[in-house]
Amino acid sequence: MDNIEIRRKILEKLYDTEKINPGNIISSIDLGNELNISNEDLGFNIKYLKEKQFINAEQMATPFYSALLSIAPYGIDIVEDENEFNRSFPLMNITNIRNSKGVVINSDNVKIDISENINIKDSFNEIYNEIDNHINAKEVEQRIKAIEEELSKDKISTSKIKESTNWLHKNANWTILPLIQIFLSLYGLTLPR
């Protein structure tokens, strides 16, 4: 479990506790046992969340893994605002995006579990399969390939993506929904229903 996932779990548990029993506190030791988090990881993340004012932590001893915890008002606001919560603590880790074709990503499965890794492929396939049905097929294909190649890089140039996306919006707007799905999935967001 990485630090982002630990922070999400801590905030969600403290939020649930506050909602069920307002003003109740949780021992960090009990929280660590319940969430199966080591003392070191727990202490590090409690300190981070406290300094960011997401939680209240009253130390019982020197290490932060021995504290009484509750969620702070700012933490409640973050958890209740799903988009902000997912932006601050992303739902997924992207580890294997390649310049190739494969898995369909649609608005029904964009929201994925934090432990999953994804390959963004079939949303590009959807576009490539449709290209030949349009007049400006070659230019569309060049723009889509430019976006796909840019997303496969370690350091993404947003200006290159923006340039291609703007052109596609004006000249091939049928490509925009699959591209939105790709961009949303990269940042762990969902389309509104």
pLDDT in tens, the chain (193 residues): 788 889 999 999 999 999 999 999 999 889 999 999 998 899 899 999 999 999 999 876 655 557 899 999 999 999 999 888 888 887 654 443 333 334 434 333 334 333 333 456 777 888 888 888 888 889 999 999 999 888 888 888 888 889 999 999 888 888 888 888 788 777 666 555 4
State the span(s) of the chain assigned CATH 1.10.10.10: 3-88
Helices (H), the chain: 3-20, 28-35, 39-51, 73-80, 82-88, 122-131, 137-151, 158-171, 176-186
Pairing relationship of beta strands 26-27 and 67-71 according to DSSP bridges: antiparallel
What pLDDT sits at residue 14? Answer: 95
Helix (H, G, I), strand (E, B) or coil at 55: strand
CA distances from 158 to 6, 59, 147, 155, 176 (A): 30, 43, 9, 9, 16
Q: So what CATH class is 3-88?
A: mainly alpha
Residues 6+ apart with CB under 8 A from 169: 176
**SS3 state at 181:** helix
- pLDDT (0 to 100) of residue 69: 93
- For residue 122, CA distances in Å to 27, 54, 98, 99 come to 46, 38, 12, 11
- What is the pLDDT, as a whole number, of residue 84? 87
